[in-house]
């Protein structure tokens, strides 16, 4: 079925070449159940990604049923992935704002079979989740989310099932259920390939391949291979002419539906995008009146910002991602916290923080969330006084006590309406006592702020995450007008503490709310000048705003784009979806801008008595321009999204 010949794959980690695969040759027959094992960094995940057509080898040949796939284009590989391969990811990769059924339907949509809703329902029923089909991922347990991922992998009746650590984030009961499903799929004739660290999971396979240092060191078959004679009712797709050409099967309505889902999935981001075009279009009609309105609106937002908080993090603010070179990141320790605390004249409170993700278990419920280890001062600095219970104290901090405060979302998921105080939960299999429930803060643009657990920083570092350095240091200045002085003093102190050379001075970053205030005030002033001089420039600014927001959206949704490509979305599908989203945002903004501009003009006539007349030409011009802006300024972000490498996108943090 699959034959790999002398496959090589190399990655660049900084200036270092990492040989993920070094001359791997492998044959896989139909109906096999294979486990790929090896230590971290051995190349087993890279091998699975190449088998699943998510990644390309640097050298070597890939044959599928005798056809060489090495030279296929990205679109052709997408079409093949959609029809031949089903992926089950360790992190599930379910789109959070879609229901379980909608997540399962995604491969059908990209395969041009979006009308086959009943097929998706059948796969949901197959994994025992018919009663949970309308629920979103955050309403499902880890085991249920993994079963949704399995249903999604099966919906196009693929011939190969690839599972990367399918039980790695699950409790033992969910693990048994997932393994049972994989065995059943193999018995039905599917070729199943799993990557795992666990010998217990690998023992369920009929063939185990051990990988180390990018090479296969052993390949053991425990059950003699016999070709499965079961014939599926749906003919198994080979390399069809459509797949070979890489043609997508989505229709315009499908693109619009996916764009609408994305817009409603990120309402604040969508509102900000619409606001940019709205201001521009309304400026064409109402000019200076809208400029003053925009100024008042932004000033109101500025008044709600905090003014005396500094956040110190390792790494340069100029670099996105993880700096891998030695000395590129300053590691903070207790010595830094004590040194900053000694600046008593300008520093009020200091507290360190370490952050990581962990699996929580209580009774038969489990939940994956962010765990933050911090100090006692966190309660006052971050307005985290518990609504119920108490915060941990200095004695518990020094003793590394296993106590925890739950965010509102975590408390609801694990305990429902029951009182969690005094109960014991497991965090990564370690028992913690719940002593408080944090105040509800709601969702921010990037995550649910209530989906968090707070524990003592000493416990987090020494008992949970095994860290010997802090991820963040929070500093509260004595007064807002001392922020710049405090920031400069802390910066000088850190450079002195760590003996940083001139070239290493950007190995940490300090951010404060005054910087944000200054940037917003500068932007507001610039907008007023533009709106007061040429109204058309304001529309251009609105278009640039849409482009910026869409570029941010591409970054925020990088893993989502990687998932869509993994399940069969071609570059054209991603481009059209983002372009439709941009056009829809601009048209909605244009329509609202016309209404707002007309309203403000009439209001200015009524209150100020200005002689303003809204012409039909200005409305038509604003409508046409809003559409053109959506296309022009949405095209670049859409192309950026479409060109993302699927495997790099899935790995994006």
Task: Tell me whether residue 317 is exposed, middle or buried, using C-beta atoms within 10 angstroms of its C-beta: 0 to 12, 13 to 18, 19 or more.
Answer: exposed
> Is 372 buried (19+), middle (13-18) or exposed (0-12) by CB count in 10 A?
buried
- The whole-number pLDDT of residue 517 equals 60
- CATH number for the domain that contains residue 195: 3.40.50.300
Question: What pLDDT is stored for residue 616 in this prediction?
Answer: 63
Say yes or no: 75 and 185 in one domain. yes
Does the structure show a pLDDT above 50 at 351? yes
* Of 10-24, 170-184, 622-636, minimum mean pLDDT range: 622-636
The answer to whether residue 323 is domain-embedded is: no
From 220, 248, 276, give the residue that closes a domain: 248
Among residues of the chain, what percentage have pLDDT more than 70? 81
Beta 430-437 vs 424-427: how paired, if at all?
A: antiparallel
Specify the higher pLDDT residue, 289 or 579. Answer: 579
The yes-or-no verdict on residue 453 having pLDDT over 90 is yes
Q: Establish if 353 belongs to a structural domain.
A: yes
Q: How far apart are CA 449 and CA 316, in angstroms?
A: 25
Predicted pLDDT of residue 242: 42
Mean pLDDT over the full length of the chain: 79
* pLDDT for 613 beyond 80: no
Residue 243 confidence class, pLDDT cut points 50, 70, 90: very low
Run of H or E residues at 581: helix 571-607
Least confidently predicted of 308-312, 313-317, 441-445, 587-591: 441-445
Sign (positive or negative) of CA dihedral 79, 81, 84, 88? negative
In a shared domain, residues 387 and 294: no
pLDDT at 362: 94
User: Is the Cβ–Cβ distance between 609 and 549 less than 8 Å?
Assistant: no
Biggest alpha carbon–alpha carbon distance for the chain? 91
63 and 94 together in one domain:
yes
Enter the tokens of residue 366.
Answer: 């489990």
Separation of alpha carbons 112 and 115, rounded Å: 8
Average pLDDT over residues 510-532: 66
- 292 and 336 part of one domain: no
447-450 contacts: CB < 8 A, separation 24 or more?
447/370, 448/138, 448/407, 448/409, 449/407, 450/407, 450/408, 450/409, 450/410
H runs (alpha helix) in 382-459: 394-398, 408-415, 457-459
More confident residue, 266 or 163: 163
% the chain with pLDDT above 90: 15
Same domain, 300 and 400: no
The model's pLDDT over 7-43, given as tens digits with 9 standing for 90+, comes to 888 887 767 777 888 888 999 988 889 999 888 888 8
Residue 311 lies in a domain: no
Contact 450, 409 (CB under 8 A): yes
Task: Quote the CA–CA distance of 577 and 162 in Å, as a whole number.
Answer: 27
Alpha-carbon dihedral sign for residues 449, 452, 456, 460: negative
Question: 428 and 526, same structural domain?
Answer: no
Question: CA 177 to CA 175: how far, in whole Å?
Answer: 5
279: alpha, beta or left, given left = phi > 0 and alpha = psi -120 to 50?
alpha
Closest CA to 372 of 324, 438, 299, 298: 438
75 and 220, same domain (yes or no): yes
- Residue 406's pLDDT band, with cuts at 50, 70 and 90, is very high
Cα-only R_g, the chain = 28
Task: Give 167's contacts (C-beta < 8 A, 6+ positions apart).
Answer: 146, 174, 175, 178, 179, 196, 198, 201
430-437 vs 347-362, strand pairing mode: unpaired
208, 223, 248 — which closes off a domain?
A: 248
271 assigned to some structural domain: yes
* Per-residue confidence (pLDDT) for residue 200, from 0 to 100: 80
Cα 545 from Cα 634, distance rounded (Å)? 10
| Same domain flag for 396 and 364 | yes
254-283 pLDDT, tens per residue? 778 777 877 777 787 778 777 777 777 777
Residue 307 has pLDDT above 60, yes or no: no
Q: Which of 213, 230, 248 is the last residue of a domain?
A: 248
503: pLDDT strictly greater than 70: yes
pLDDT at res. 423: 93
Q: Cβ(445)–Cβ(269) under 8 Å?
A: yes
What is the Cα–Cα distance from 110 to 114, expressed in whole angstroms? 8
Asked whether residue 498 carries a pLDDT value surpassing 80, the answer given is yes
- How remote is the C-alpha of 434 from its chain's centroid? 29
pLDDT given for residue 98 in this prediction? 83
Residue 531 has pLDDT above 70, yes or no: no
Find all residues with CB under 8 Å of 620, minimum gap 6, and list them.
none
Q: How many domains does the chain have?
A: 3
The whole domain housing 637 covers 253-304+516-651
Cβ atoms within 10 Å of 221's Cβ, excluding its own: 13
Higher pLDDT, 423 or 648: 423
Q: Is the pLDDT of residue 70 over 50?
A: yes
C-alpha to C-alpha distance for 290 and 275, rounded to whole angstroms: 12
Instruction: Report the pLDDT averaged over residues 347-365.
Output: 92
The pLDDT assigned to 352 comes to 94
- Give the count of alpha carbons within 13 A of 355, CB side only: 9
Q: What pLDDT is attached to residue 151?
A: 87
Query: Mean pLDDT across the stretch 449-471?
Result: 91
Cα gap 405→272, rounded to integer Å: 33
**Mean pLDDT for the stretch of residues 338-351:** 89
Which class for 449: exposed (0-12), middle (13-18), buried (19 or more C-beta within 10 A)? middle
Residue 420 shares a structural domain with residue 464 = yes
- The pLDDT tens digits of the residues spanning 184-200 come to 888 888 889 988 888 88
Q: What pLDDT shows up at residue 244?
A: 39
Over the stretch 95-138, which tens digit does the pLDDT of each residue have?
887 888 888 888 888 777 767 788 888 888 888 888 888 898 88
pLDDT at 326 over 50: no
Spatial contact of 190 and 160, defined as CB atoms under 8 Å apart: yes
- Residue 393's pLDDT is what? 93
d(CA 328, CA 316): 8
pLDDT for 301 equals: 47
Domain assignment present for residue 407? The answer is yes
Phi, psi at 108, each rounded to 5°: -65, -40
The length of the chain in residues reads 653
Mean per-residue pLDDT for 417-436? 93
The confidence score (pLDDT) of residue 433 equals 95
- Out of 25-39, 381-395, 452-466, 632-646, pick the least confident: 632-646
- Residue 234 — pLDDT band, cuts 50, 70, 90? very low
Do 136 and 193 lie in one domain? The reply is yes
Strand order through the sheet with 67-68: 16-28, 2-13, 59-64, 67-68
- Is residue 242 exposed (0-12), middle (13-18) or buried (19+ Cβ within 10 Å)? middle
Residue 315 in domain: no
Give the closest residue to 530 by CA, choosing from 279, 361, 354, 272. 279
The answer to whether residue 526 is domain-embedded is yes
Mean predicted confidence (pLDDT) in 144-151: 85
366 and 243 in a common domain: no
Among 50, 39, 43, residue whose Cα is nearest residue 85? 50
pLDDT tier, 632 (very low <50, low <70, confident <90, very high otherwise) = confident
Is 317 part of a structural domain of the chain? no
Same structural domain for residues 163 and 184? Answer: yes
């Amino acid at each position: 079925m699959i034959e790999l010949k002398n496959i090589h794959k190399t990655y660049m980690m900084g200036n270092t070449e990492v040989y993920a695969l070094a001359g791997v040759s492998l044959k896989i027959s139909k109906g096999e159940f294979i486990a790929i094992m090896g230590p971290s960094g051995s190349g087993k995940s890279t091998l699975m990604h190449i088998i699943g057509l998510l990644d390309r080898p640097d050298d070597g040949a890939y044959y599928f049923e005798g056809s060489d796939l090495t030279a296929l284009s990205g679109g052709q590989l997408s079409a093949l992935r959609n029809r031949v391969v089903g992926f089950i990811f360790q992190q599930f990769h379910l789109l959070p704002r879609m229901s379980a059924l909608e997540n399962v339907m995604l491969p059908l949509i990209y395969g041009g079979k979006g009308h086959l809703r009943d097929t998706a329902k059948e796969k949901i029923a197959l994994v025992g989740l018919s009663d949970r089909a309308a629920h979103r991922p955050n309403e499902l347990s880890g085991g249920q989310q993994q079963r949704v991922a399995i249903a999604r992998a099966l919906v196009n009746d693929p011939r190969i099932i690839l599972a990367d650590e399918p039980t790695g984030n699950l409790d033992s009961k969910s693990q048994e259920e997932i393994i049972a499903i994989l065995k059943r799929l193999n018995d039905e004739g599917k070729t199943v390939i799993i990557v795992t660290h666990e010998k217990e999971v690998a023992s369920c396979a009929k063939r185990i391949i051990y990988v180390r240092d990018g090479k296969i060191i052993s390949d053991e078959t425990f059950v003699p291979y016999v070709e499965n004679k079961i014939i599926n009712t749906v003919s198994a797709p080979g390399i069809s002419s459509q797949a070979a050409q890489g043609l997508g099967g989505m229709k315009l309505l499908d693109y619009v539906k996916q764009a609408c889902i994305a817009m409603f999935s990120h309402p604040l981001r969508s509102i900000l995008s619409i606001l940019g075009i709205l201001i521009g279009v309304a400026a064409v009609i109402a000019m200076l009146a809208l400029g003053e309105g925009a100024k008042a609106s932004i000033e109101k937002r500025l008044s709600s910002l905090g003014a005396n908080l500094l956040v110190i993090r390792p790494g340069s603010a100029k670099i996105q991602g993880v700096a891998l070179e030695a000395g590129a990141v300053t590691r903070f320790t207790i010595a830094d916290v004590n040194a900053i605390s000694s600046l008593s004249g300008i520093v009020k409170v200091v507290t360190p923080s370490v952050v990581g993700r962990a699996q929580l278990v209580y009774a038969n419920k489990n939940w994956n969330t962010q765990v933050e280890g911090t100090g006692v001062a966190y309660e006052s600095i971050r307005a985290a006084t518990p609504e119920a219970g108490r915060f941990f104290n200095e004695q518990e901090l020094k003793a590394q006590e296993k106590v925890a405060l739950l965010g509102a979302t975590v408390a609801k998921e694990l305990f429902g309406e029951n009182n969690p105080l005094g109960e014991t939960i497991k965090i990564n299999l370690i028992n913690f006592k719940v002593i408080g429930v944090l105040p509800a803060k709601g969702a921010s643009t990037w995550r649910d702020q209530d989906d968090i657990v707070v524990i003592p920083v000493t416990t987090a570092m020494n008992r949970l995450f095994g860290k010997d350095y802090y991820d963040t240091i929070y500093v509260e200045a004595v007064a807002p007008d001392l922020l710049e002085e405090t920031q400069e003093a802390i910066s000088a102190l850190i450079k002195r503490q760590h003996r940083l050379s001139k070239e290493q001075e950007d190995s940490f970053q300090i951010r404060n709310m005054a910087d944000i205030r200054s940037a917003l005030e500068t932007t507001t002033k610039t907008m007023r000048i533009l709106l007061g001089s040429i109204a058309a420039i304001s529309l251009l600014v609105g278009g640039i705003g849409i482009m910026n927001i869409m570029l941010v959206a591409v970054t925020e949704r990088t893993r989502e784009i990687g998932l869509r490509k993994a399940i069969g979305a071609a570059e054209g599908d991603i481009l059209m979806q983002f372009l439709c989203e941009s056009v829809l945002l601009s048209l909605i903004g244009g329509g609202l801008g016309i209404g707002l501009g007309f309203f403000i003009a009439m209001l200015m006539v009524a209150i100020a008595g200005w002689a303003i007349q809204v012409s039909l030409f200005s409305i038509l011009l604003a409508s046409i321009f809003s559409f053109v802006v959506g296309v022009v300024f949405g095209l670049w972000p859409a192309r950026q999204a479409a060109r993302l490498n699927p495997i790099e996108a899935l790995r994006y943090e």
